[in-house]
Every structure is written in C-alpha cells, then in structure tokens.
Amino acid sequence: MLGVALNKIQYNKYSSFLDIDVIQVQQIIDILQQIHSRTGTNYNIKTIQSCISECRLVFDWIVKKKEKNSIDNPFRAIILHNVEAFSESTSYIPEEVIKMLKEKLNELPRFVQAAWTIMMNTGIRISEVINLKEDCVIYDTKDSVYYLKFIPHKTLQYRRKLGLEDYHYLPINDTNLINVINQQIKDTKDLREINKENKIFLKNTPKGVKLYSNQEISRAINGLIHKYNICDRDGVLWKYTHHQCRKTVAVNLFTNGATVEEVSDWLTHLDSKSTMKHYHDIELMKIAELDAEYFDIMFSNLDLDIKDRYSPSEFKNLKDEIMLGSRNTPEGHGTCIKHVSFGPCHKKKCVGCKMLITGPQKLSMWKTLYSEQQTYLDEWIKVMIENKIDDWKDYREYQAEINLLQIYGDTIQKLEKFIKERLSEDEQKRYLHN
C-alpha cells in the first residue's frame, strides 16, 4: 500500500525511508485517498490512518537502529483528525441472512465453513481465527468445560502491560463448534507435520505452505451471497464483512442479559469504551426495528383512499424516503406519508393529521410536546381565573388546546403499549423512562 503511493510520487529519488519529509507524507496521504485496493474500492480513512501509524513506528525504529536521533519523524508531524466520523458502524447480521447462509454454507470449502462457524459462535477476530493452533481446544477436567485458547493479537501488548498471559480462554459448549474445529485440525495434520507448523488454517501453494487470508474467506462468503441473492428484510443484497460476526455475537450476549463488563471481557476489548459503542449501536438498531414494525402496522391501518394511492414500487420509494429523512415533519415528531396526488398541504400543524405516522423513536419528543402543552394550558387557565372569566371551558381556544393535549397523550399511550408488548421489562425502562 505504501509502496504503491511512493511509486506514484513524481521525481522519486529516495534511497532510504529516512529521506521522506513532511511534504511527501502529505502527498502519500493524498495518493492513498485516490488509489484503489485489490478489491477495486478506495481505501477508507481508517485504513490510511493505520498505514501512517505503522510508518511512524518503522521510521522510529530505523532512526534508533541507525542512531540518527537528529532526524524528526515526518509521519508524526501530520495527524488525521476526526477519523471516527468517516467510519461506518459495523452492522450485525440479521436472522434472515444467517438462516440463508447456514442453508448454503456447505457449498463453500471446509476451511471457510470452519472460519465462519468459529467467528459466529465466539466473536473472535478473523486474524485470531487464522492464527489458531492445533492445541486451541482444551478440556478442563475440573469444570468439565471445553475452552477455545487463542492469542488476541490486537490487544497483546496491552495484556502484557497488565501482567496478563498471552492466551485468552473462551468457554465453548457447542458440540458442532468443537467438531468443526477438530475437523480443521485433522484436515491440516499432514501439512503441519511436513512443515513443522502448528497453525490449523494452512494451505499448500506453489510458493509453499501459507496461511489462508481473511480476503479469501470473505470473498467466498460474499460470492455465496451473490449466487443466491441473499438479502436483508428490505430486499437489499447483504454485503458481508468479518467484523459483522463479532457484532452479532455482541448482540446475542447483550440480548441474553450479559453486562458491558462481561461482553468486554469476552470480546477482549482494551477497555469498555469499544463495548459501549457496540451497546449504543445495538440500542439504536433495536429502536429502528421497532420503528419499522410500527410503521407497517400504522400504514396497514390507514384509510383505503390513502393506502390505495401507493403502487408497490411507490411504497418501496416511500420507505426509502423515510429512511433518508426526507419525509420528516417540520416539528420532527414523525413522518408524512401524503401522496403527491393529494396536492399541496395547507395545514399549519401535523399533529392529528391522518397522514402522520410516528414511531417509538419519537416517544421522548411526544412527551416533551405533552409537557409543553400542559404547561401552556396551565398558564392559560391561570390567566382566565385571575381575570375572573368563569366560562373559559367553553372558549374555542381552550377546546382546541385541550384536544391537542389529548392527541399528545393518546399518541404516547399507543407508543408505550407497543413497546411494552415487544420488549422485556429491562429494555422497556430505557425507552419509557427517558
């Protein structure tokens, strides 16, 4: 990656890595943002940041080895800011995709099946899977439990600083998973013996015995997805990445009641911040799924004269527009599903309109509206009483405002009822008491 960038710099006269200066580092970053990876896609900013970080370490090492302490490291002079803002959060794999993959997985090479099964059951990183050794499955006779033994390379230095051993142990009680790992150990036995190697994800190549790459495994899985057109529930072709398996395991752990600390330990995170990010993403996905379900229910209950205006293709486009936010109401408390054939809207407020669809995600906003409306009404009534107006309940203004308050209250009750029917008591607390 770095070599490609260096070759593209004009008038390249470098005889040593130490010849690179700050200007060339900036050129390298610019080139890396333009060139394509082997898969034909642009490198994302996180990958470029990792490359520059590695260059900093290499430059420091050469300076120290050659005792050139007077040379400043140009890779340390440039910092890529706000990198996280450019990285998309990894999604977990939805049930419908997992189901289809499991049905077709036996068409893939056995090493791909093994790698995917290990990741989906343990959440360990692809690099940790590829580097598993022949003694990776151990049995604790005292506790009668099998463990998967592996080295979490990403956090290895941190573990050593804390005085922890290199290996991490995960309990595994799935017989199929144990059989899959043992089969992979058996499949590569001859290669290991001939080459005096102890890793189990080996292959024979014209250039000798090598480890399988993570790209080989992901390409095979994505090839299967393309072959059978495996899509999510919105009909979008799924794009698989290895990290999705890790996220899926995190989702399952949280769903089954694991704490942030327990999930952090299981996934060998450096600290709980990474785990909290998973937790936050999962919360957002759950409420988004509730919103989608609520929308389908509310749309099916709409008046026929509204529903029938939408053809199947228009309904799909409507959902896309909602996802993009272009159908949000000005007040931000829901979605307008008004068909273009109804003409322009002349209403001053969306509340109470039969073409407004809201969802659990907007519950806190409805509560705010209710509270503000109640405060306004209390003040209005106070003024009426102070001015000794006895028939204020007959005023059209009061009736309109009390009706608005009632609409807010009814909407809150519907949303809370919907949430209570679909979430556990612990999950309800996060949505109902914010």
The DSSP element (H or E) to which 209 belongs, if any, is strand 208-211
Write the pLDDT tens digit of every residue in 142-199: 888 999 999 988 888 878 888 888 898 998 988 999 999 999 999 999 999 888 889 9
Whether 78 and 103 map to the same domain: the answer is: no
Asked, for residue 327, whether it belongs to a domain, the answer is no
DSSP label at 258?
Answer: -
Q: How confident is the model at residue 87 (pLDDT cuts 50, 70, 90)?
A: very low
**10 and 34 co-located in one domain:** yes
Q: What six digits make up the tokens of 97?
A: 């995709």
Torsion angles phi and psi, residue 153, rounded to 5: -60, -35
Q: Say yes or no: 77 and 16 in one domain.
A: yes
Residue entry with tokens 């390409």: 219
316 domain residue, yes or no: no
Specify if 331 maps to a domain.
Answer: no
385 shares its domain with 428: yes
CATH number of the domain residue 206 falls in:
1.10.443.10
pLDDT at residue 83, rounded to an integer: 47
Domain edge (last residue) among 26, 59, 86: 86
Residues 261 and 367 in one domain: no
Pairing of strands 356-357, 137-140: unpaired
* C-beta atoms surrounding 283 within 10 Å: 14
Q: What distance in Å separates the CA atoms of residue 4 and residue 430, rounded to the nearest whole number?
A: 49
Q: Based on the fold, state whether residues 67 and 144 are members of the same structural domain.
A: no
326 falls within a domain: no
User: Tell me, what's the pLDDT at 355?
Assistant: 62
Residue 375, pLDDT score:
92
From residue 276, give the alpha-carbon distance in Å to each of 271, 288, 337, 347, 433: 9, 18, 35, 43, 20
Of 256, 283, 310, the position where a domain reaches its end is 283
Q: Structure pTM?
A: 0.52
Q: Note down the domain range covering 394.
A: 361-432
Specify whether 69 is located in the same domain as 155: no
Judge whether 411 lies within some domain: yes
* Count of domains forming the chain: 3
DSSP string, 382-396: HHHHHTT-TTGGG-H
Q: Is residue 154 part of a domain?
A: yes
> pLDDT value at position 55?
85
Q: Does residue 187 belong to any structural domain of this protein?
A: yes
Would you say residue 100 lies in a domain?
Answer: yes
Of 283, 310, 340, which closes a domain?
283
Looking at the structure, tell me whether residues 80 and 175 fall in a common domain: no
Same domain, 125 and 38: no
Residues 151 and 257 in one domain: yes
Per-residue pLDDT at 113 exceeds 80: yes
Examine the domain organization and report whether 81 and 107 are in the same domain.
no
Same structural domain, 155 and 67: no
